[in-house]
Amino acid sequence: MSRKILIVGAGKSTSYLIDYFLEKSTSENLHLTIGDLYPDAIASPIKNHDACTVVRLDVFEDEERKSAIKQSDIVVSMLPARMHMKVARDCIAFEKHLVTASYVSEEIKTLDEEAKKKGLVFMNEIGLDPGIDHMSAMQILDRIREKGGKILLFESFTGGLVAPESDDNLWNYKFTWNPRNVVLAGQGGAAKFLQEGTYKYIPYHKLFRRTEFFEIEGYGRFEGYANRDSLNYREAYGLEDVLTLYRGTMRRVGFSKAWNMLVELGMTDDTYVLENSKGMSYRDFTNSFLPYSPTDSVELKLRHYLNIDQDDIMWEKLVELNLFDSQKTITIENASPAQALQQILEASWTLKDNEKDMIVMYHKFGYELQGKKHQIDANMVVLGETRTHTAMAKTVGLPVAIATLLILKKKITTPGVQIPLQKEVYEPILRELQEYGMVFKEIEVPYLGYNTESVLR
């Protein structure tokens, strides 16, 4: 009898996930059911594969959802995080394992006791970030501790970026993931982290002007800005006594300073709607954030407002986004500024068919061993293959797929709601990911403490 895997949701991040299961369908005796709201959008080679069944599945239709889950052995939910709970409750009811790439929600945590009672693995945060970041960090942290080292510092950054050969705009950036998340990044509270034993906070309006810089050999210079709460995983990582703990998002140098202009203008605000957004030109959208003047042009008003010169590269970056175009228009009714900005950015920053993305992850570990301080820098770079088989889809989908198969094969057995911090999880997954080119390069460097290149940190 075949092992039955149900994938709920077949979005952008599932190309490698699906390929992995279908490639192993014969050797591992797998049958894959893909349930999606738009099954016609799934490629014919997948739909016609002997080991695959594609069905229309609306997660809000209870009977459809329950029937599909009941017939499976394990469920992979690739839905938006807010939709996991319906699937998770059914997995408890029908005693099915569950795998997601999403952050563990407070709701999902309430199912921990029932999952343990029924011997069910509810594996979460098993994508890229969260996911590979957890596993690669814990592998090195555990190794340092096993040698008797005391962790002093841990920093971690991840970036979904455009590959060097497809990097052709002044922002050195294109969307490789949900554009809305990019536009709203950093909102919802101050960024919080530890630096040399002191709690630090960065409010949203200052977030993109307090950055850290670092080099990745062969790929040049990058910058990072702080994630909202770097202390979320302090206890889970066993870093209660660490002096510096900082997690951030990575971009090419110059992105954050330029993005800060959009923040200052108010274009990233998602808390109100523009009454006349539909049909508004990009130029009028830009002008709506500027003071009235009967004589000054939109361009002149904006330069004065942001105090930038006409020959400044920052000005050229704004022009490149077509923010002063009077012909292009917003097509969304009652759009928030953030939604309107997203539409404008998608017109410039969407990957073309022949373009590739890039994932960069960087960790820094500082520790003390036998009275001496040491530092390890570790980084991973993954390049995409095509617009569908992206580095993002690869780094999100393959850890999910590998974990799913390990659970089916009873190689991962610890029950309950969890994230991949245990050796039984991270060791076999990281080992297999190396076969797909996801390798961390580790470099021993002199201990520097917090990054001396930090700006205003």
Range of the domain at 326: 272-349
Most confident of 35-44, 58-67, 412-421: 412-421
The pLDDT of residue 42 is: 87
- pLDDT for 450 equals 58
Three-state helix/strand/coil letters over the chain: CCEEEEEECCCHHHHHHHHHHHHCCCCCCEEEEEEECCHHHCCHHHHCCCCEEEEECCCCCHHHHHHHHHCCCEEEECCCHHHHHHHHHHHHHHCCEEEECCCCCHHHHCCHHHHHHCCCEEECCCEECCEHHHHHHHHHHHHHHHCCCEEEEEEEEEEEEECHHHCCCCCCCCECCCHHHHHCCCCCCCEEEEECCEEEEECHHHHHHCEEEEEECCCEEEEEEECCECCCCCCCCCCCCCCEEEEEEEEECCHHHHHHHHHHHCCCCCCCCCCCCCCCEHHHHHHCCCCCCCCCCHHHHHHHHHCCCCCCHHHHHHHHCCCCCCCCECCCCCCCHHHHHHHHHHHHHECCCCCCEEEEEEEEEEEEECCEEEEEEEEEEEECCCCCCCHHHHHHHHHHHHHHHHHHCCCCCCCEEECCCCHHHHHHHHHHHHCCCCCCEEEEECCCCCCCCCCCC
Once rounded to an integer, what is the mean pLDDT over residues 384-399?
A: 92
* Other Cβ atoms within 10 Å of 221 Cβ, number: 12
pLDDT tens for each residue of 86-130: 999 999 999 999 999 999 999 999 999 999 999 999 999 999 999
pLDDT band at 448 (very low <50, low <70, confident <90, very high): confident
Establish if 77 belongs to a structural domain: yes
**pLDDT (tens digit per residue) in 258-301:** 999 999 999 999 999 999 999 999 999 999 999 999 999 999 99
pLDDT at 25 over 50: yes
Whole-number pLDDT of residue 451: 55
The pTM assigned to this predicted structure is: 0.91
115 lies in the same domain as 209: no
Looking up residue 196, the CATH number of its domain turns out to be 3.30.360.10
78 lies in some domain = yes
Number of compact structural domains in the chain? 3
Same domain, 27 and 101: yes
Using CA atoms, how far apart are residues 83 and 91, in angstroms rounded to an integer?
Answer: 13
Q: Could you tell me the two tokens for 203?
A: 């409010």
pLDDT tens for residues 204-245?
999 999 999 989 999 999 999 999 899 999 999 999 999 999
Q: Is residue 424 part of a domain?
A: no
| 279 domain residue, yes or no | yes
If you average pLDDT over residues 67-86, what whole number do you get?
A: 92
Nearest 5°: phi and psi at 108? -60, -35
Residues 386 and 301 in one domain: no
357: pLDDT strictly greater than 70: yes
Question: What value does the mean pLDDT of the chain take?
Answer: 93
Q: Are residues 380 and 242 part of one domain?
A: yes
Does residue 170 register a pLDDT over 90? yes
- pLDDT, one tens digit per residue, over 5-19 is 999 998 878 889 999
Q: What percent of the chain clears pLDDT 70, i.e. is strictly above it?
A: 98
Same domain, 141 and 249: yes
Predicted confidence band of residue 178 (pLDDT cuts 50, 70, 90): confident
Same domain, 223 and 161: yes
Residue 453 confidence (pLDDT)? 44
Q: Are residues 187 and 276 in the same domain?
A: no
The residue with tokens 């999952």 is 115
Pairwise CA distance, residues 112 & 116, whole Å? 6
Domain match, 253 and 371 both: yes
Looking at 124, 157, 185, which one is the last position of a domain? 124
Q: Is residue 457 part of a domain?
A: no
Q: Mean pLDDT, to the nearest integer, of 378-401? A: 94
Domain contains 434 = no
Domain-embedded: residue 264: no
Q: In the chain, pLDDT over 90 holds for what percent of residues?
A: 86
Cβ-based neighbours of 178, under 8 Å, separated by 6 or more: none
Provide the pLDDT for residue 157: 97
Task: Report d(CA 102, CA 135) in Å as an integer.
Answer: 15
Residue 454 has pLDDT above 70, yes or no: no
Answer yes or no: do 245 and 140 share one domain: yes
Domain-located, residue 413: no
Q: Verify that 105 and 160 share a domain, yes or no.
A: no
| Residue 358 sits in the same domain as residue 211 | yes
- Residue ending a domain, choose from 124, 146, 169: 124
Same domain, 220 and 359: yes
